[in-house]
Amino acid sequence: MPPILAVRHLTKDYPEVRAVDDLSLKVREGICFGLLGPNGAGKTTTVEIMEGVVEQTSGEVLYRDRPRDRAFKNEVGIQFQSTSLQDYLTVREVLELFGSFYPRNLPFDEVVSLCALGDFLDRDHRKLSGGQRQRVMLGLALVNDPALVFLDEPTTGLDPQARRNFWELVREIRRRGKTILLTTHYMEEAYELCDEIAIMDHGRLIAQGSPRDLLRRQFEGSVVSLPQEDLALPEDYPWPTYQRDGRIEIQTNDVNATLAQLLRDQVSLEHLTVKSRTLEDLFLELTGHELRA
Amino acid sequence: MKKFWAVMVARNKEFLRDRASLGWNLFFPVLVLFGFSFISSGNQATFKVAVLGGVPTSADRAEFYDTHHVQFVAVGSLDEAMRKVGQHRFDMLIDPGESPRYWINSSSSKGYLVERVLWGSSPPGHYHKETVEGREIRYIDWLIPGLLSMNMTFSAMFGVGFVMVRYRKMGVLRRLKATPLSAFQFLSAQVASRLILIVGATVLVYVGSNLILHFQMVGSYFSLISIFLLGSVCMVSLGLLMAARTASEELAGGILNLVTMPMMFLSGVWFSLDGAPGWVRGIAQALPLTHINDAARAVMTDGASFAAVLPDVAVLAAMTMVFLALGAWTFRWE
């Protein structure tokens, strides 16, 4: 089966900056694909080129192995990072308006129950909470029963509870066999939701795979963390180290060896912690800087 | 068609629920109209007498021409001047030629007074008296066509232009661009929605104020409605053109004011440009509002036929085509 979406050698230049730099990737049908990276990594530009909202400088985008045609817009659903709707319309009216743009609709009641919009259907869409608003935007992305759904940082700015609720919606959409392409700068979100992750930084793809694969491939091991003042690092330390939040983190595949080294160096182990690696650590290793920096 | 309809209905709802701007659209012209009807009811006491061929310059000219508080206006066309006497725009018309004659409107009190002055300052039987019938054209009657078209202009330019820019800035257009809705469907729905609202508001204002002010409407309603409809389309197109690109409300506000302000003053909404320098009238001819005003006024106060206002209508139609073509060509969602 061909990938539902593929980009090849995608590049986008803005006057000041190259936002996307020779990016190639494939999205298999039916999965939740996460595009992960810090702010300014080029995630949004990449998905907007995929959506057909932004024109690429060079490279190509293929939908089911073919260049996108007029029908493409009927088969995808899009949730933008920040857009607005016509004023003074209720949630119901907005859904009906957008439904009228498409030849095929998901039944209205299904959109409402799927996105849990029932409580505020007749409210002005401008008078909703952040989480409710994101659910309406998700509803708009689903009105045409799309095969492929783009979600651009859908949970940014939501409180933890609203974020978890939203994740549940995304899982439900995924269970219905839709392909989801999600951008996020939350590692946890990518780990929770995605079958496959591509990590971007400075417009380039720096790693790709399933969350667990990525962790296993790049990080069989743990992070040993110490307060900065407890350890004076020599130039040629045997393991990669990073400084974060006033602590030094040593990334190691052999905790015994690392602890033995620390004991030899007579370092105080009083405030030492050992933890398994997370995607955050992976990102740090790959890019040399923190995700939310 | 379904998409067009849905967008248009949504825009109508948006407008009708926006109480403040809806109220303003109806309230503003009525306010101005009544304001002027009060102001102009306290008339200034000068008299206007038209003199065919101009006031004689000979030393032995009649003493009458030296009367204070009477403005003597030279006219060339007898028919035109007689019509204005009928409309009370001149209090009297004098033909000082071989067989001197004068015309007054038998229903005009000012005409009656000027006639008395004329009698008192000339030999008995020197002038032959003629009368003209006709209803007075008050300033209000003269103003209403301009006021309606001005309201139309504001509603069109700001209701389409400004809203479009706000849509673009807020990302409404961006969201719509991602759907199969075409720019043409979107724009035509905006135009249609605004047309309905302008027509509705104009009819309400017209009928409502006519109940109290009873303005002059001597032409055909068909001509008037055609002119106003075409005028609205023209102004909406101009609004679209102004808002085709920019996403800055400040810039759009500036551009819209830059376009509407000259029209306010140079299109003959408030005062006639008859006595203005040629270059001012030249500029006025380039403004669509001038053509709407002239044509609507000709129909309402002079009863001009549709054929008579055809030149204005043709210019409006041409301008509309140009604005629409340019607006569609330069339009960007973002």
Counted residue by residue, chain B has a size of 334
Look at strands A247-252 and A241-244 and give their pairing.
antiparallel
Q: Using CA of residue A78, residue A22, residue A27, residue A60, what is the dihedral sign?
A: positive
Look at strands B101-105 and B92-95 and give their pairing.
antiparallel
CB spacing of A100 vs B170 below 8 angstroms: no
The confidence score (pLDDT) of residue A293 equals 43
On the CB side of A14, CA atoms within 13 Å amount to 10
CB spacing of B178 vs A101 below 8 angstroms: no
Neighbour count for residue A188 (Cβ, 10 Å) = 14
> Which pLDDT band holds residue B41 (cuts at 50, 70, 90)?
low
Our CA-based measurement puts residue B188 at a distance from the nearest CA of chain A, in whole angstroms, of 15
DSSP category for residue A127: G
> Which pLDDT band holds residue B291 (cuts at 50, 70, 90)?
very high
Query: Is residue A218 pLDDT above 80, yes or no?
Result: no
Amino acid B119 reads W
Which positions ≥6 away from A74 have C-beta within 8 Å?
Answer: A102, A103, A104, A144, B180
Amino acid B322 reads V
The confidence score (pLDDT) of residue B98 equals 80
Chain B residues within an 8 Å CB radius of A84: 170-172, 175
CB spacing of B14 vs A89 below 8 angstroms: yes
Query: Is residue A190 pLDDT above 80, yes or no?
Result: yes
SS3 A246: coil
The confidence score (pLDDT) of residue B317 equals 95
> Which pLDDT band holds residue A223 (cuts at 50, 70, 90)?
confident
Look at strands A204-209 and A222-227 and give their pairing.
unpaired
Q: Give the span between the Cα atoms of A4 and A57, in whole angstroms.
A: 22
Our CA-based measurement puts residue A90 at a distance from the nearest CA of chain B, in whole angstroms, of 10
The confidence score (pLDDT) of residue A67 equals 92
Our CA-based measurement puts residue B245 at a distance from the nearest CA of chain A, in whole angstroms, of 16
Look at strands A58-63 and B101-105 and give their pairing.
unpaired
Q: Give the span between the Cα atoms of A101 and B59, in whole angstroms.
A: 82
> Which pLDDT band holds residue A136 (cuts at 50, 70, 90)?
very high
* Mean pLDDT across chain A: 88
The answer to whether residue A70 neighbours chain B at the CB level (below 8 Å) is yes
> Span A4-29, mean pLDDT?
93
Chain B residues within an 8 Å CB radius of A89: 10, 13-14
Max avg pLDDT among A253-262, B73-82, B265-274, B307-316: B307-316
Chain B residues within an 8 Å CB radius of A77: none
The answer to whether residue A230 neighbours chain B at the CB level (below 8 Å) is no
Q: What is the largest CA-CA distance in chain B?
A: 86
Taking Cα atoms as reference points, which of B82, B70, B74, B78 lies closest to residue B55?
Answer: B74
Counted residue by residue, chain A has a size of 293
Which positions ≥6 away from A197 have C-beta within 8 Å?
Answer: A33, A34, A35, A36, A190, A207, A208, A209, A210, A211, A214, A279
Q: What own/partner pairs with CB < 8 Å and gap ≥ 24 does B82-85 have?
A: B82/B132, B83/B134, B83/B302, B84/B50, B85/B50, B85/B111, B85/B132, B85/B134
Q: Give the span between the Cα atoms of B72 and B59, in whole angstroms.
A: 17
What tokens does B138 get?
Answer: 């008050």
Share of chain A above pLDDT 90, in %: 47
The confidence score (pLDDT) of residue A290 equals 62
Our CA-based measurement puts residue A192 at a distance from the nearest CA of chain B, in whole angstroms, of 28
Mutate to test the interface with A, among B179, B184, B332 (most CBs of A within 10 A): B179
Query: Is residue B212 pLDDT above 60, yes or no?
Result: yes
Taking Cα atoms as reference points, which of B24, B175, B322, B282 lies closest to residue A79?
Answer: B175
Q: What is the pLDDT of residues A86-111, one digit of tens each?
A: 888 999 999 999 999 999 999 999 99
Q: Is residue B306 classed exposed, middle or buried when 0-12, 13-18 and 19+ CB atoms within 10 A define those classes? A: middle
Q: Which of B170, B172, B180 sits opposite A101 (nearest CB)?
A: B180
Edge-first strand listing for the sheet containing A247-252: A241-244, A247-252, A222-227, A273-276
Query: Is residue A27 pLDDT above 80, yes or no?
Result: yes
Max avg pLDDT among A64-68, B59-63, B244-248, B254-258: A64-68
Residue with tokens 């140009």: B322
Query: Is residue B147 pLDDT above 50, yes or no?
Result: yes
Share of chain A above pLDDT 70, in %: 97
Chain A residues within an 8 Å CB radius of B172: 83-86
CB spacing of A93 vs B10 below 8 angstroms: yes
> Which pLDDT band holds residue B302 (cuts at 50, 70, 90)?
confident
Query: Is residue B140 pLDDT above 60, yes or no?
Result: yes
DSSP category for residue A119: G
* Mean pLDDT across chain B: 85
The answer to whether residue A89 neighbours chain B at the CB level (below 8 Å) is yes
Mutate to test the interface with A, among B172, B175, B185, B193 (most CBs of A within 10 A): B175
The confidence score (pLDDT) of residue A289 equals 67
Chain A residues within an 8 Å CB radius of B17: 88
B89-to-A224, B73, B112, B295 alpha-carbon distances in Å:
98, 11, 14, 19
Q: Give the span between the Cα atoms of A147 and A141, in whole angstroms.
A: 11
Which positions ≥6 away from A72 have C-beta within 8 Å?
Answer: A52, A63
Give DSSP secondary structure letters for B195-259.
HHHHHHHHHHHHHHHHHHH-----S-HHHHHHHHHHHHHHHHHHHHHHTSS---HHHHHHHHHHH
CB spacing of A93 vs B17 below 8 angstroms: no
Q: Which residues 142-181 of chain A have a CB within 8 Å of chain B? A: none
Q: Give the span between the Cα atoms of B114 and B91, in whole angstroms.
A: 7
Q: Give the span between the Cα atoms of B235 and B242, in whole angstroms.
A: 10
Our CA-based measurement puts residue A34 at a distance from the nearest CA of chain B, in whole angstroms, of 21
The confidence score (pLDDT) of residue A220 equals 66
The answer to whether residue A85 neighbours chain B at the CB level (below 8 Å) is yes
Q: What is the pLDDT of residues B194-208, one digit of tens each?
A: 999 899 989 988 898
Instruction: Name the residue with higher pLDDT: A29 or A185.
Output: A29
A20-to-A5, A49, A155, A201, A282 alpha-carbon distances in Å:
17, 10, 23, 9, 21
Q: Which of B14, B172, B181 sits opposite A84 (nearest CB)?
A: B172
Our CA-based measurement puts residue A87 at a distance from the nearest CA of chain B, in whole angstroms, of 6
CB spacing of A83 vs B6 below 8 angstroms: no
Q: Give the span between the Cα atoms of B263 and B251, in whole angstroms.
A: 19
Which positions ≥6 away from A273 have C-beta within 8 Å?
Answer: A224, A225
SS3 A36: strand
CB spacing of A100 vs B5 below 8 angstroms: yes
Query: Is residue B97 pLDDT above 70, yes or no?
Result: yes
Neighbour count for residue A128 (Cβ, 10 Å) = 16
Q: What is the pLDDT of residues A245-291, one digit of tens each?
A: 788 888 888 888 888 888 888 888 888 888 877 777 777 777 776 65
Query: Is residue B256 pLDDT above 70, yes or no?
Result: yes
Q: What is the CA radius of gyration of chain B?
A: 24
Query: Is residue A78 pLDDT above 90, yes or no?
Result: yes
Q: What is the CA radius of gyration of chain A?
A: 22
Q: Give the span between the Cα atoms of A220 and A216, in whole angstroms.
A: 5
Query: Is residue B254 pLDDT above 70, yes or no?
Result: yes
Taking Cα atoms as reference points, which of A191, A195, A166 lies closest to residue A180?
Answer: A195
Mutate to test the interface with B, among A49, A84, A96 (most CBs of B within 10 A): A84
Q: A178-192, A220-234, B79-93, B317-331: which has the minimum mean pLDDT?
A: A220-234
CB spacing of A80 vs B174 below 8 angstroms: yes
